[in-house]
Every structure is written in C-alpha cells, then in structure tokens.
Amino acid sequence: MRTTLTIAASLLCAATLAAQNPPPAQQPPPAGPQGAAPAGQRQGGGGGGGGRGRAIQVLSLSTSAWVDGAVIPLKYTQAGEEVSPALTWTTVVDVPPATPTPAPAPAAAAPAAAGRGQAAQAPPPPVKSYVLIVHDIDSTSADLASDTLHWMVWNIPATSHGLPEHVPQGPDLADGSKQISVTGPYYRGPAAPATGPMHHYVFDLYALDAMIDVPAVGAAVPATRAAVMAAMATHVRGKATMVGRFKYTAATAK
C-alpha cells in the first residue's frame, strides 16, 4: 500500500512540473525561395527536349505487269526478254509536324521560362532523288555477305513518278541516274532454279533528301552497293516496297 502511494505521488509531481513548464512551441522551418521544388524532385513546367525526327512516309509502288506478291511474267525474267518492268510510285507529301503544346508554367515561374518549348521547327528538306533496289531475298551473292542484287538505280530525279519499261543498259542514264546489278550496269531478271522453291524478288523504293555521290563504275558491285546504302542512310524521307515471285519450271528451264 505504501509503495502504491509513493508511485502515485511521483506521477502527480511530474504532471505538476510539466504543467508549469510547457515545452516551447515548434517553429515552422524557414521558407525557401517561392516556387522551389522539394529536394530530390523535378520542378514542373520545364521546357521540352530537342526537335523530333520526321517519320519516314509510306509510299506506294506498283507495276502493271503483275499484282504485288504474284508471279513475275516471263517477259521480265531470264527465261524471257529480261526487260525491266514499268514502275509507278507516289511521291512524298510534306505535312508540317504538329506544333508542340507547351506545358503549363507554375504560378511563380520565372519570366525566363516563358515560351520555352515553342521554338518553330524548320521545314523538312525537299526530296532530291529516288533509289530503287531490286534484290532476291532467297539467295546470296557470291561473297555470301548479302542477298543477290538484281538492280540498283540511284539519283533518279525527284520529279519522277516512275520508270518506263525496258530501261536501257549502261552505268549512266540520260536523266542522270546510275545503275548496277550483280552482273553489270543493267536490270538482271529473276532466274530461280526449277529444282527449288519460288524466290521472292523485292523492289524497294526510297525517297531521299540528297543526291548520292557514288559512281557506278570503278569498284566491285558489293562495294558500290554498300557505298550507296551508307550514303543514303540518314536521308530517307519515304519508302515503298512491292514483291514478285519466280522460279523456272520444266517448260522454261534452259
């Protein structure tokens, strides 16, 4: 009983002292600069990054000789006249990119941040040439480094909307374009053997915003092809693809 009273008296004494000496009121932390973000957090309202790259436009490429994906008529193969088919394509249509909407600035944003991210984008460079590459994706070249190149034509004028049937032979054509193939400066027709499956001959058309400064003569075909591909790598504005299939049959085998 005496112990219980002693404990109660001690608690009462402590409570009395606490009431007489209350702890100091907690002061709020000093305010930082107006509008500053807490440490470790990114402040909103910042400007955007660099300019966006323009997407490669999808063009159309067709021929009146066959439907895309169908069998190539004998006339355009090594089993026939081996003339190049007439081709038609659409051209690049320049559509200005949408103007980016700037992020809303915070209420206390500094005046220097006004207008950030609203810089006008320069118009895209115009199309200056086309490149056509015809390749057999089911066969490899003699050096085993790539598929078989049946035709490559570059520096086709930007005003062109196609190629006529039976483009003449020669490394330098009258319109300024240049051409090669696995066997020479001309169109090389399909010739997949009768003993194997149908081969797929892919016609790739590229619209470029530059001319290609690569000669058609003076180097091996694989080196010329690689040089053209390297030169056009950062200049593609549009692309179109079509496919034709072919293989020799018992009736057409030589």
Residue 145: inside a domain? yes
Q: What pLDDT does 6 receive?
A: 42
Domain CATH number, residue 199: 3.90.280.10
Question: Range with the lowest mean pLDDT among 35-44, 104-113, 177-186, 204-213?
Answer: 35-44
Residue 18: inside a domain? no
Residue 211: inside a domain? yes
> Residue 226, CB half-sphere, CA atoms under 13 Å: how many?
7
- The strand pairing partners of 242, in sequence order, are 203
Residue 74: inside a domain? yes
Q: How many domains does the chain have?
A: 1
Average of per-residue pLDDT across 84-94: 90
Residue 182, domain extent: 57-90+124-246
Predicted TM-score of the model (pTM): 0.69
| 33 alpha carbon, distance to own chain's centre | 45
Which of the four pLDDT bands, split at 50, 70 and 90, describes residue 113? Answer: very low
What would the pLDDT profile of 190-217 be if each residue is shown by its tens digit?
Answer: 999 999 999 999 999 999 999 999 999 9
User: Chain-wide mean pLDDT for the chain?
Assistant: 78
Residue 242: inside a domain? yes
186/45: higher pLDDT: 186
Residue 27: inside a domain? no
Q: What pLDDT does 252 receive?
A: 75
Q: In angstroms, rounded to a whole number, what is the distance separating the alpha carbons of residues 128 and 91?
A: 11
CA torsion through residues 77, 82, 86, 90, sign? positive
Residue 153: inside a domain? yes
CA torsion through residues 33, 38, 42, 43, sign? negative
What would the pLDDT profile of 42-59 be if each residue is shown by its tens digit?
Answer: 333 333 333 335 689 999
What are the φ/ψ torsions at residue 27 (nearest 5 degrees)? -90, 140
pLDDT at residue 35 tops 60:
no
Among residues of the chain, what percentage have pLDDT more than 90? 59
Residue 26: inside a domain? no
